[in-house]
Chains A and B, each alone.
Chain A
Amino acid sequence: MKKYIKYILYIFIFLNIISTSSKTIDIPTPSKKIYPVNDYYYDIPTPSKKIYPVNDYYYDIPTPSKKIYPVNDYYYDIPTPSKKIYPVNDYYYDIPTPSKKIYPVNDYVGILSKKEILILNKKLIQIKKNFYSEILIVIINNIFNDNHNWIASNWGQKWKIGKKGKDNGIIILLIPQRKKISMQIGYGLEPYLTDALCKKMINNILPIYNNNYYQTLNKLIDNITIILNKYKYNFQSKSNINFFKKIYKKYFNINYLILLLLIINIIIYYNSDNVLINTILPYIFFYKKNNENNDDNDDDNEDNDDDNDDFEGFGEGGHFGGGGAGGSW
Protein backbone atom coordinates (compact mmCIF):
# COMPACT_ATOMS: atom_id res chain seq x y z
CA MET A 1 0.00 0.00 0.00
CA LYS A 2 2.79 2.41 0.94
CA LYS A 3 4.30 2.05 -2.55
CA TYR A 4 1.05 2.99 -4.23
CA ILE A 5 0.66 6.03 -2.04
CA LYS A 6 4.09 7.21 -3.11
CA TYR A 7 3.14 6.95 -6.79
CA ILE A 8 -0.10 8.71 -6.22
CA LEU A 9 1.73 11.54 -4.46
CA TYR A 10 4.13 11.86 -7.37
CA ILE A 11 1.26 12.10 -9.84
CA PHE A 12 -0.47 14.65 -7.68
CA ILE A 13 2.62 16.90 -7.51
CA PHE A 14 3.16 16.60 -11.24
CA LEU A 15 -0.42 17.63 -11.93
CA ASN A 16 -0.04 20.57 -9.58
CA ILE A 17 3.05 21.84 -11.38
CA ILE A 18 1.28 21.65 -14.73
CA SER A 19 -1.73 23.50 -13.43
CA THR A 20 0.35 26.33 -11.89
CA SER A 21 2.48 26.74 -14.99
CA SER A 22 -0.56 26.95 -17.24
CA LYS A 23 -2.11 29.56 -14.97
CA THR A 24 0.80 31.97 -15.27
CA ILE A 25 1.04 32.01 -19.09
CA ASP A 26 -1.83 31.03 -21.34
CA ILE A 27 -0.12 29.03 -24.02
CA PRO A 28 -2.71 28.27 -26.66
CA THR A 29 -3.21 24.70 -27.74
CA PRO A 30 -1.62 24.16 -31.14
CA SER A 31 -3.95 23.64 -34.03
CA LYS A 32 -3.67 20.55 -36.19
CA LYS A 33 -2.18 22.45 -39.10
CA ILE A 34 0.40 24.86 -37.73
CA TYR A 35 1.08 27.97 -39.75
CA PRO A 36 4.48 29.69 -39.57
CA VAL A 37 3.01 32.97 -38.42
CA ASN A 38 0.43 32.72 -35.68
CA ASP A 39 -1.38 35.99 -35.31
CA TYR A 40 -4.17 35.10 -32.94
CA TYR A 41 -6.03 38.36 -33.35
CA TYR A 42 -6.95 37.47 -36.86
CA ASP A 43 -9.15 34.44 -37.66
CA ILE A 44 -8.02 32.90 -40.91
CA PRO A 45 -11.29 32.20 -42.65
CA THR A 46 -12.22 28.81 -44.05
CA PRO A 47 -12.00 28.81 -47.87
CA SER A 48 -15.24 28.98 -49.75
CA LYS A 49 -16.18 26.33 -52.29
CA LYS A 50 -15.54 28.61 -55.21
CA ILE A 51 -12.30 30.43 -54.55
CA TYR A 52 -11.90 33.78 -56.24
CA PRO A 53 -8.39 35.04 -57.17
CA VAL A 54 -8.73 38.16 -55.07
CA ASN A 55 -9.96 37.62 -51.55
CA ASP A 56 -10.89 40.95 -50.08
CA TYR A 57 -12.65 40.01 -46.89
CA TYR A 58 -13.88 43.47 -46.10
CA TYR A 59 -16.19 43.39 -49.04
CA ASP A 60 -18.71 40.63 -49.77
CA ILE A 61 -18.95 39.98 -53.49
CA PRO A 62 -22.67 40.07 -54.10
CA THR A 63 -24.55 37.44 -56.06
CA PRO A 64 -25.60 38.79 -59.47
CA SER A 65 -29.23 39.72 -59.84
CA LYS A 66 -31.37 38.15 -62.56
CA LYS A 67 -31.47 41.33 -64.58
CA ILE A 68 -27.96 42.77 -64.61
CA TYR A 69 -27.81 46.52 -65.02
CA PRO A 70 -24.78 48.14 -66.70
CA VAL A 71 -24.02 50.28 -63.68
CA ASN A 72 -23.81 48.38 -60.41
CA ASP A 73 -23.85 50.89 -57.62
CA TYR A 74 -24.35 48.73 -54.56
CA TYR A 75 -24.95 51.62 -52.24
CA TYR A 76 -28.30 52.20 -53.83
CA ASP A 77 -30.99 49.51 -54.03
CA ILE A 78 -33.17 49.92 -57.07
CA PRO A 79 -36.64 49.78 -55.55
CA THR A 80 -39.53 47.74 -56.89
CA PRO A 81 -42.17 49.99 -58.45
CA SER A 82 -45.40 50.46 -56.58
CA LYS A 83 -48.71 49.55 -58.24
CA LYS A 84 -49.77 53.16 -58.59
CA ILE A 85 -46.73 55.08 -59.78
CA TYR A 86 -46.74 58.73 -58.77
CA PRO A 87 -44.86 61.32 -60.82
CA VAL A 88 -42.56 62.12 -57.89
CA ASN A 89 -40.56 59.16 -56.67
CA ASP A 90 -38.44 60.04 -53.69
CA TYR A 91 -36.54 57.00 -52.49
CA TYR A 92 -34.71 58.17 -49.45
CA TYR A 93 -32.89 56.65 -46.52
CA ASP A 94 -35.41 55.26 -44.04
CA ILE A 95 -34.90 57.15 -40.84
CA PRO A 96 -35.40 54.79 -37.89
CA THR A 97 -38.18 55.40 -35.40
CA PRO A 98 -36.92 57.03 -32.21
CA SER A 99 -36.74 55.24 -28.88
CA LYS A 100 -38.89 56.47 -26.02
CA LYS A 101 -36.02 58.31 -24.32
CA ILE A 102 -33.73 59.82 -26.93
CA TYR A 103 -30.11 60.12 -25.81
CA PRO A 104 -27.90 62.75 -27.51
CA VAL A 105 -25.43 60.32 -29.07
CA ASN A 106 -26.79 57.75 -31.56
CA ASP A 107 -23.99 55.61 -33.00
CA TYR A 108 -25.41 53.13 -35.51
CA VAL A 109 -21.93 52.14 -36.77
CA GLY A 110 -19.97 51.49 -33.59
CA ILE A 111 -17.10 53.92 -34.08
CA LEU A 112 -17.22 55.46 -30.63
CA SER A 113 -16.35 53.42 -27.55
CA LYS A 114 -18.69 53.20 -24.57
CA LYS A 115 -16.63 55.60 -22.50
CA GLU A 116 -16.58 58.22 -25.25
CA ILE A 117 -20.35 57.97 -25.70
CA LEU A 118 -20.86 58.42 -21.95
CA ILE A 119 -18.64 61.50 -21.85
CA LEU A 120 -20.35 63.05 -24.89
CA ASN A 121 -23.79 62.30 -23.45
CA LYS A 122 -22.93 64.03 -20.19
CA LYS A 123 -21.51 67.03 -22.03
CA LEU A 124 -24.55 67.46 -24.27
CA ILE A 125 -27.00 67.09 -21.39
CA GLN A 126 -25.10 69.86 -19.58
CA ILE A 127 -25.44 72.05 -22.68
CA LYS A 128 -29.19 71.46 -22.68
CA LYS A 129 -29.36 72.56 -19.05
CA ASN A 130 -27.28 75.69 -19.60
CA PHE A 131 -28.44 76.92 -23.00
CA TYR A 132 -31.85 75.22 -23.45
CA SER A 133 -30.82 73.88 -26.86
CA GLU A 134 -30.49 70.24 -27.87
CA ILE A 135 -27.57 68.87 -29.90
CA LEU A 136 -28.09 65.40 -31.39
CA ILE A 137 -25.22 63.35 -32.82
CA VAL A 138 -26.03 60.67 -35.39
CA ILE A 139 -23.51 58.33 -37.02
CA ILE A 140 -24.59 56.11 -39.95
CA ASN A 141 -22.88 54.36 -42.82
CA ASN A 142 -25.26 54.07 -45.74
CA ILE A 143 -27.30 56.88 -47.25
CA PHE A 144 -27.97 55.58 -50.80
CA ASN A 145 -27.80 58.49 -53.25
CA ASP A 146 -29.35 61.03 -50.95
CA ASN A 147 -27.94 64.35 -49.96
CA HIS A 148 -26.50 64.26 -46.45
CA ASN A 149 -27.87 67.69 -45.53
CA TRP A 150 -31.31 66.62 -46.64
CA ILE A 151 -31.27 63.48 -44.51
CA ALA A 152 -30.02 65.33 -41.44
CA SER A 153 -32.79 67.91 -41.47
CA ASN A 154 -35.43 65.27 -42.12
CA TRP A 155 -34.01 63.33 -39.20
CA GLY A 156 -34.54 66.30 -36.95
CA GLN A 157 -38.06 66.79 -38.26
CA LYS A 158 -38.97 63.15 -37.61
CA TRP A 159 -37.44 62.92 -34.14
CA LYS A 160 -38.71 66.40 -33.21
CA ILE A 161 -35.45 67.64 -31.72
CA GLY A 162 -35.78 70.92 -29.88
CA LYS A 163 -38.56 72.54 -27.89
CA LYS A 164 -41.99 73.15 -29.34
CA GLY A 165 -42.41 76.74 -30.47
CA LYS A 166 -38.71 77.51 -29.93
CA ASP A 167 -37.31 74.98 -32.44
CA ASN A 168 -33.87 75.11 -30.86
CA GLY A 169 -32.31 71.86 -32.04
CA ILE A 170 -29.02 71.06 -33.74
CA ILE A 171 -28.17 67.85 -35.57
CA ILE A 172 -24.67 66.62 -36.41
CA LEU A 173 -24.71 63.79 -38.93
CA LEU A 174 -21.49 61.84 -39.58
CA ILE A 175 -21.09 59.35 -42.43
CA PRO A 176 -17.58 57.87 -42.11
CA GLN A 177 -17.90 55.52 -45.09
CA ARG A 178 -18.76 58.33 -47.47
CA LYS A 179 -16.49 60.81 -45.66
CA LYS A 180 -19.25 63.33 -45.16
CA ILE A 181 -20.45 65.47 -42.30
CA SER A 182 -23.39 67.84 -41.99
CA MET A 183 -24.72 70.18 -39.37
CA GLN A 184 -28.40 71.13 -39.49
CA ILE A 185 -30.07 73.79 -37.43
CA GLY A 186 -33.65 74.30 -36.30
CA TYR A 187 -35.75 77.31 -37.24
CA GLY A 188 -35.21 79.01 -33.90
CA LEU A 189 -31.40 79.02 -34.01
CA GLU A 190 -31.05 80.05 -37.66
CA PRO A 191 -30.49 83.77 -36.97
CA TYR A 192 -27.61 82.99 -34.60
CA LEU A 193 -25.97 80.05 -36.40
CA THR A 194 -26.14 81.18 -40.01
CA ASP A 195 -25.21 79.01 -42.97
CA ALA A 196 -21.90 80.79 -43.51
CA LEU A 197 -20.92 80.40 -39.85
CA CYS A 198 -21.75 76.68 -39.93
CA LYS A 199 -19.65 76.24 -43.06
CA LYS A 200 -16.73 77.98 -41.34
CA MET A 201 -17.01 75.73 -38.30
CA ILE A 202 -17.06 72.58 -40.40
CA ASN A 203 -14.13 73.74 -42.50
CA ASN A 204 -12.17 74.31 -39.30
CA ILE A 205 -12.61 70.69 -38.27
CA LEU A 206 -12.05 68.93 -41.58
CA PRO A 207 -10.31 66.81 -42.68
CA ILE A 208 -10.55 63.98 -40.15
CA TYR A 209 -7.34 61.95 -39.98
CA ASN A 210 -6.73 58.54 -38.39
CA ASN A 211 -10.38 58.01 -37.42
CA ASN A 212 -10.25 60.69 -34.74
CA TYR A 213 -14.01 61.03 -34.74
CA TYR A 214 -14.35 61.59 -31.03
CA GLN A 215 -11.90 64.48 -30.91
CA THR A 216 -13.39 66.19 -33.94
CA LEU A 217 -16.90 65.91 -32.54
CA ASN A 218 -15.65 67.32 -29.26
CA LYS A 219 -14.09 70.27 -31.09
CA LEU A 220 -17.30 70.98 -33.00
CA ILE A 221 -19.38 70.95 -29.83
CA ASP A 222 -16.94 73.32 -28.14
CA ASN A 223 -17.19 75.70 -31.10
CA ILE A 224 -20.98 75.60 -30.94
CA THR A 225 -21.01 76.30 -27.21
CA ILE A 226 -18.88 79.43 -27.72
CA ILE A 227 -21.57 80.86 -30.00
CA LEU A 228 -24.44 79.70 -27.79
CA ASN A 229 -22.73 81.44 -24.88
CA LYS A 230 -22.73 84.74 -26.82
CA TYR A 231 -26.51 84.78 -27.15
CA LYS A 232 -27.19 83.09 -23.85
CA TYR A 233 -29.90 85.48 -22.72
CA ASN A 234 -32.03 84.97 -25.82
CA PHE A 235 -32.51 81.28 -25.16
CA GLN A 236 -33.74 81.45 -21.59
CA SER A 237 -37.35 80.39 -21.38
CA LYS A 238 -39.37 82.83 -19.31
CA SER A 239 -42.38 80.62 -18.73
CA ASN A 240 -41.68 77.07 -17.69
CA ILE A 241 -44.39 74.80 -19.06
CA ASN A 242 -43.01 71.71 -17.41
CA PHE A 243 -42.57 73.38 -14.05
CA PHE A 244 -45.09 71.19 -12.22
CA LYS A 245 -43.85 68.11 -13.98
CA LYS A 246 -40.30 68.74 -12.79
CA ILE A 247 -41.43 69.30 -9.21
CA TYR A 248 -43.46 66.12 -9.34
CA LYS A 249 -40.47 64.12 -10.57
CA LYS A 250 -37.94 65.71 -8.25
CA TYR A 251 -39.73 65.86 -4.95
CA PHE A 252 -42.29 63.11 -5.13
CA ASN A 253 -40.85 59.83 -3.91
CA ILE A 254 -42.31 56.74 -2.30
CA ASN A 255 -40.02 57.43 0.65
CA TYR A 256 -41.81 60.69 1.39
CA LEU A 257 -45.14 58.92 1.44
CA ILE A 258 -43.75 56.40 3.92
CA LEU A 259 -42.49 59.22 6.11
CA LEU A 260 -45.93 60.79 6.11
CA LEU A 261 -47.49 57.49 7.11
CA LEU A 262 -44.93 57.20 9.89
CA ILE A 263 -45.87 60.58 11.28
CA ILE A 264 -49.51 59.54 11.25
CA ASN A 265 -48.50 56.38 13.04
CA ILE A 266 -46.71 58.32 15.74
CA ILE A 267 -49.77 60.47 16.25
CA ILE A 268 -51.85 57.33 16.60
CA TYR A 269 -49.31 55.90 18.98
CA TYR A 270 -49.69 58.78 21.38
CA ASN A 271 -53.44 58.81 21.14
CA SER A 272 -54.22 55.11 21.44
CA ASP A 273 -53.44 52.19 23.76
CA ASN A 274 -52.97 49.48 21.16
CA VAL A 275 -49.29 48.54 21.43
CA LEU A 276 -49.02 45.66 18.96
CA ILE A 277 -49.88 47.57 15.77
CA ASN A 278 -47.70 50.50 16.72
CA THR A 279 -44.66 48.34 17.19
CA ILE A 280 -45.08 46.37 13.96
CA LEU A 281 -46.05 49.12 11.50
CA PRO A 282 -42.98 51.38 11.72
CA TYR A 283 -40.74 48.35 11.53
CA ILE A 284 -42.36 47.35 8.22
CA PHE A 285 -41.92 50.81 6.76
CA PHE A 286 -38.30 51.11 7.77
CA TYR A 287 -37.54 47.66 6.51
CA LYS A 288 -39.01 48.49 3.09
CA LYS A 289 -37.11 51.74 2.85
CA ASN A 290 -33.77 50.10 3.57
CA ASN A 291 -34.38 47.46 0.97
CA GLU A 292 -35.13 50.04 -1.70
CA ASN A 293 -31.97 51.96 -0.96
CA ASN A 294 -29.89 48.81 -1.32
CA ASP A 295 -31.40 48.07 -4.69
CA ASP A 296 -30.67 51.57 -5.89
CA ASN A 297 -27.01 51.25 -4.97
CA ASP A 298 -26.66 48.03 -6.91
CA ASP A 299 -28.19 49.59 -9.97
CA ASP A 300 -25.85 52.56 -9.85
CA ASN A 301 -22.85 50.30 -10.01
CA GLU A 302 -24.12 48.52 -13.09
CA ASP A 303 -25.38 51.41 -15.19
CA ASN A 304 -23.86 54.83 -15.13
CA ASP A 305 -26.54 56.19 -17.46
CA ASP A 306 -29.00 56.63 -14.64
CA ASP A 307 -26.86 59.23 -12.89
CA ASN A 308 -28.81 62.14 -14.34
CA ASP A 309 -32.39 61.71 -13.24
CA ASP A 310 -33.41 65.16 -14.45
CA PHE A 311 -32.75 64.24 -18.08
CA GLU A 312 -36.06 63.59 -19.79
CA GLY A 313 -34.72 62.75 -23.24
CA PHE A 314 -34.60 64.83 -26.37
CA GLY A 315 -37.43 65.46 -28.78
CA GLU A 316 -40.04 67.92 -27.55
CA GLY A 317 -41.58 69.03 -30.83
CA GLY A 318 -38.99 71.08 -32.72
CA HIS A 319 -39.01 71.74 -36.46
CA PHE A 320 -36.24 71.88 -39.07
CA GLY A 321 -36.18 73.78 -42.34
CA GLY A 322 -32.84 73.02 -43.95
CA GLY A 323 -30.59 75.63 -42.38
CA GLY A 324 -26.96 74.72 -41.82
CA ALA A 325 -24.09 73.42 -43.87
CA GLY A 326 -22.29 70.26 -44.86
CA GLY A 327 -18.83 69.22 -45.91
CA SER A 328 -16.74 66.30 -47.07
CA TRP A 329 -13.10 65.36 -46.70
Chain B
Amino acid sequence: MNFKIKHYFLIIISIIFIWILIIYNKLVTFNEKVKNQWGQVENSYQRRSDLIPKIINIIKGVTNFEKNTLVDVIKARSNNSIVINNLNKEDINKFQKIQKLLNNSINRLLITIEKYPKLKSTENFLELQSQLEGTENRINIERNRYNLEVKRFNTYRNKFPNLLISNIFPRFKEKGYLKLDSNIEHSPIINFN
Protein backbone atom coordinates (compact mmCIF):
# COMPACT_ATOMS: atom_id res chain seq x y z
CA MET B 1 0.00 0.00 0.00
CA ASN B 2 2.74 2.38 0.95
CA PHE B 3 4.54 1.86 -2.28
CA LYS B 4 1.38 2.47 -4.32
CA ILE B 5 0.60 5.80 -2.64
CA LYS B 6 4.12 7.00 -3.35
CA HIS B 7 3.68 5.98 -6.97
CA TYR B 8 0.48 7.98 -7.43
CA PHE B 9 2.02 10.95 -5.69
CA LEU B 10 4.94 10.97 -8.09
CA ILE B 11 2.63 10.80 -11.10
CA ILE B 12 0.55 13.75 -9.89
CA ILE B 13 3.65 15.82 -9.22
CA SER B 14 5.04 15.10 -12.67
CA ILE B 15 1.74 16.09 -14.31
CA ILE B 16 1.71 19.36 -12.39
CA PHE B 17 5.31 20.02 -13.36
CA ILE B 18 4.55 19.51 -17.06
CA TRP B 19 1.47 21.76 -16.77
CA ILE B 20 3.58 24.54 -15.23
CA LEU B 21 6.21 24.10 -17.92
CA ILE B 22 3.70 24.54 -20.75
CA ILE B 23 2.18 27.69 -19.25
CA TYR B 24 5.61 29.12 -18.47
CA ASN B 25 6.77 28.65 -22.06
CA LYS B 26 3.63 30.30 -23.42
CA LEU B 27 4.14 33.24 -21.09
CA VAL B 28 7.69 33.59 -22.37
CA THR B 29 6.56 33.76 -25.99
CA PHE B 30 3.92 36.40 -25.20
CA ASN B 31 6.46 38.38 -23.20
CA GLU B 32 8.98 38.35 -26.04
CA LYS B 33 6.34 39.61 -28.47
CA VAL B 34 5.60 42.55 -26.18
CA LYS B 35 9.31 43.32 -25.81
CA ASN B 36 9.83 43.19 -29.56
CA GLN B 37 6.96 45.58 -30.16
CA TRP B 38 8.30 47.87 -27.45
CA GLY B 39 11.51 48.10 -29.44
CA GLN B 40 9.52 49.34 -32.42
CA VAL B 41 7.80 51.94 -30.24
CA GLU B 42 11.12 53.22 -28.91
CA ASN B 43 12.44 53.32 -32.47
CA SER B 44 9.61 55.53 -33.65
CA TYR B 45 10.00 57.89 -30.68
CA GLN B 46 13.73 58.03 -31.34
CA ARG B 47 13.02 59.11 -34.92
CA ARG B 48 11.19 62.16 -33.61
CA SER B 49 13.97 63.17 -31.22
CA ASP B 50 16.46 62.81 -34.08
CA LEU B 51 14.55 65.45 -36.02
CA ILE B 52 15.27 68.15 -33.44
CA PRO B 53 18.83 68.97 -34.63
CA LYS B 54 17.30 69.53 -38.08
CA ILE B 55 14.85 72.04 -36.64
CA ILE B 56 17.67 73.86 -34.86
CA ASN B 57 19.71 74.01 -38.05
CA ILE B 58 16.83 75.63 -39.91
CA ILE B 59 16.20 78.19 -37.19
CA LYS B 60 19.92 79.11 -36.93
CA GLY B 61 19.68 81.15 -40.11
CA VAL B 62 16.99 83.40 -38.71
CA THR B 63 18.08 86.41 -36.64
CA ASN B 64 15.96 87.71 -33.74
CA PHE B 65 14.33 84.34 -33.02
CA GLU B 66 12.72 83.77 -29.61
CA LYS B 67 15.20 81.64 -27.74
CA ASN B 68 13.05 80.50 -24.82
CA THR B 69 11.10 77.94 -26.82
CA LEU B 70 14.26 76.62 -28.42
CA VAL B 71 15.92 76.10 -25.05
CA ASP B 72 12.85 74.22 -23.82
CA VAL B 73 13.05 71.80 -26.74
CA ILE B 74 16.75 71.14 -26.22
CA LYS B 75 16.20 70.55 -22.49
CA ALA B 76 13.33 68.15 -23.14
CA ARG B 77 15.44 66.26 -25.62
CA SER B 78 18.38 65.89 -23.24
CA ASN B 79 16.06 64.37 -20.60
CA ASN B 80 14.49 62.12 -23.22
CA SER B 81 16.86 59.17 -23.10
CA ILE B 82 15.62 56.60 -20.60
CA VAL B 83 16.15 52.85 -20.66
CA ILE B 84 13.16 50.84 -19.55
CA ASN B 85 13.52 47.14 -18.82
CA ASN B 86 10.43 46.02 -16.95
CA LEU B 87 7.59 47.69 -18.88
CA ASN B 88 5.55 48.03 -15.69
CA LYS B 89 2.68 50.46 -15.38
CA GLU B 90 4.81 52.94 -13.42
CA ASP B 91 7.74 52.82 -15.83
CA ILE B 92 5.55 53.33 -18.85
CA ASN B 93 3.72 56.22 -17.24
CA LYS B 94 7.11 57.81 -16.56
CA PHE B 95 8.15 57.28 -20.17
CA GLN B 96 4.93 58.80 -21.43
CA LYS B 97 5.23 61.87 -19.24
CA ILE B 98 8.69 62.59 -20.63
CA GLN B 99 7.54 62.11 -24.21
CA LYS B 100 4.57 64.39 -23.54
CA LEU B 101 6.95 67.15 -22.42
CA LEU B 102 8.93 66.85 -25.66
CA ASN B 103 5.78 66.77 -27.76
CA ASN B 104 4.38 69.89 -26.10
CA SER B 105 7.63 71.79 -26.50
CA ILE B 106 7.84 70.88 -30.19
CA ASN B 107 4.25 72.04 -30.72
CA ARG B 108 5.01 75.33 -28.97
CA LEU B 109 8.03 75.81 -31.21
CA LEU B 110 5.95 75.17 -34.34
CA ILE B 111 3.44 77.80 -33.19
CA THR B 112 6.22 80.37 -32.70
CA ILE B 113 7.61 79.57 -36.14
CA GLU B 114 4.29 80.68 -37.65
CA LYS B 115 5.20 84.25 -36.69
CA TYR B 116 8.02 84.08 -39.23
CA PRO B 117 6.40 83.72 -42.67
CA LYS B 118 9.74 83.78 -44.49
CA LEU B 119 10.94 80.74 -42.56
CA LYS B 120 7.62 78.98 -42.99
CA SER B 121 7.70 79.14 -46.77
CA THR B 122 11.22 77.71 -47.18
CA GLU B 123 11.58 74.30 -48.75
CA ASN B 124 13.57 72.93 -45.82
CA PHE B 125 10.82 73.72 -43.37
CA LEU B 126 8.11 72.15 -45.56
CA GLU B 127 10.20 69.01 -45.81
CA LEU B 128 10.60 68.93 -42.05
CA GLN B 129 6.87 69.39 -41.54
CA SER B 130 6.08 66.39 -43.71
CA GLN B 131 8.66 64.35 -41.81
CA LEU B 132 7.09 65.32 -38.49
CA GLU B 133 3.69 64.23 -39.79
CA GLY B 134 5.17 60.91 -40.88
CA THR B 135 6.78 60.29 -37.51
CA GLU B 136 3.54 61.01 -35.68
CA ASN B 137 1.75 58.49 -37.86
CA ARG B 138 4.48 55.94 -37.18
CA ILE B 139 4.24 56.52 -33.44
CA ASN B 140 0.47 56.05 -33.57
CA ILE B 141 0.73 52.77 -35.43
CA GLU B 142 3.50 51.26 -33.33
CA ARG B 143 1.79 52.34 -30.13
CA ASN B 144 -1.44 50.69 -31.22
CA ARG B 145 0.32 47.44 -32.06
CA TYR B 146 2.09 47.52 -28.71
CA ASN B 147 -1.25 47.93 -26.92
CA LEU B 148 -2.66 44.93 -28.77
CA GLU B 149 0.30 42.78 -27.72
CA VAL B 150 -0.04 43.95 -24.11
CA LYS B 151 -3.72 43.12 -24.16
CA ARG B 152 -2.93 39.62 -25.33
CA PHE B 153 -0.26 39.17 -22.66
CA ASN B 154 -2.34 40.59 -19.79
CA THR B 155 -5.43 38.53 -20.58
CA TYR B 156 -3.40 35.35 -20.73
CA ARG B 157 -1.54 36.23 -17.57
CA ASN B 158 -4.61 37.15 -15.50
CA LYS B 159 -6.71 34.05 -16.27
CA PHE B 160 -7.25 31.91 -13.25
CA PRO B 161 -4.90 28.93 -13.35
CA ASN B 162 -2.20 30.92 -15.14
CA LEU B 163 -2.32 33.64 -12.52
CA LEU B 164 -0.93 31.29 -9.83
CA ILE B 165 2.18 30.65 -11.91
CA SER B 166 2.72 34.13 -13.31
CA ASN B 167 2.61 35.68 -9.84
CA ILE B 168 5.61 33.59 -8.77
CA PHE B 169 7.97 35.16 -11.33
CA PRO B 170 8.62 38.92 -11.12
CA ARG B 171 9.28 39.22 -14.88
CA PHE B 172 5.66 38.35 -15.70
CA LYS B 173 4.14 41.35 -13.95
CA GLU B 174 1.28 43.20 -15.60
CA LYS B 175 2.40 45.41 -18.48
CA GLY B 176 1.26 48.99 -18.82
CA TYR B 177 -0.73 50.44 -21.70
CA LEU B 178 0.35 53.47 -23.68
CA LYS B 179 -2.64 55.75 -23.27
CA LEU B 180 -3.90 58.17 -25.89
CA ASP B 181 -3.13 61.47 -24.21
CA SER B 182 -1.43 63.71 -26.68
CA ASN B 183 -3.00 62.52 -29.91
CA ILE B 184 -3.59 65.42 -32.25
CA GLU B 185 -6.02 63.76 -34.65
CA HIS B 186 -8.31 62.29 -32.02
CA SER B 187 -8.61 65.48 -29.98
CA PRO B 188 -10.70 68.39 -31.32
CA ILE B 189 -8.76 70.96 -33.34
CA ILE B 190 -9.69 74.60 -32.85
CA ASN B 191 -8.90 77.09 -35.58
CA PHE B 192 -9.23 80.79 -34.79
CA ASN B 193 -8.54 81.83 -38.35
Please give the residue numbers on chain A whose beta carbons come within 8 Å of chain B beta carbons, in ascending order. 86-88, 90, 145-147, 149-150, 153-154, 194-196, 198-199, 320-326
Contact = CB atoms under 8 A, between A and B. Distances in A.
Interface stretch (B15-23, B55-63, B96-104, B128-136): B128-136
A-B pairs with lowest CB-CB distance, top 10: A195-B134, A199-B130, A322-B138, A196-B127, A147-B185, A322-B137, A322-B141, A149-B137, A196-B130, A88-B147
A90 B144 CA distance: 8
B140 A323 contact: no
B180 A322 contact: no
29 contacts: A87-B177, A87-B179, A88-B151, A88-B180, A90-B180, A145-B185, A145-B186, A147-B137, A149-B133, A150-B140, A150-B185, A153-B141, A194-B131, A195-B134, A196-B126, A199-B126, A199-B127, A199-B133, A321-B40, A321-B138, A321-B142, A322-B134, A322-B137, A322-B139, A322-B140, A322-B142, A323-B138, A324-B137, A325-B130
A86 B134 CA distance: 28
A321 to B, nearest CB: 6
A323 to B, nearest CB: 6
Contact of A154 (B131, B141, B147, B178): B141
B133 A195 contact: yes
B131 A196 contact: yes
A78 to B, nearest CB: 14
A195 B147 CA distance: 25
Contacts of B133: 149, 195, 199, 325-326
Interface string B68-105: 00000000000000000000000000000000000000
Contacts of A153: 137, 141
Given A150-B141, A323-B138, A195 B131 contact: yes
Contacts of B180: 88, 90
Contacts of B185: 145-147, 150
Summarize A's interface: helix, strand, loop or mixed.
Answer: mixed
A188 to B, nearest CB: 15
Nearest to B154: A86
Given A87-B177, A88-B147, A196-B127, A147 B134 contact: no
Nearest to B178: A88
Contacts of B177: 86-88
Interface in B114-164: 126-127, 130-131, 133-134, 137-142, 144, 147, 151
A90 B147 CA distance: 10
A326 B132 CA distance: 12
Nearest to B124: A196
B134 A325 contact: yes
A320 B186 CA distance: 21
Contacts of A321: 40, 138, 141-142
Given A147-B140, A322-B142, 4 more contacts: A145-B185, A320-B141, A325-B130, A326-B133
A160 to B, nearest CB: 15
Interface string B19-57: 000000000000000000000100010000000000000
B137 A150 contact: yes
Given A88-B147, A88-B179, A88-B180, A195 B141 contact: no
A100 B84 CA distance: 42
A179 to B, nearest CB: 16
Nearest to A184: B137
Nearest to B140: A150
A86 B147 CA distance: 10
Contacts of B131: 194-196
A323 B47 CA distance: 12
Interface in B156-193: 177-180, 185-186
Given A87-B179, A88-B177, A88-B179, A323 B134 contact: yes
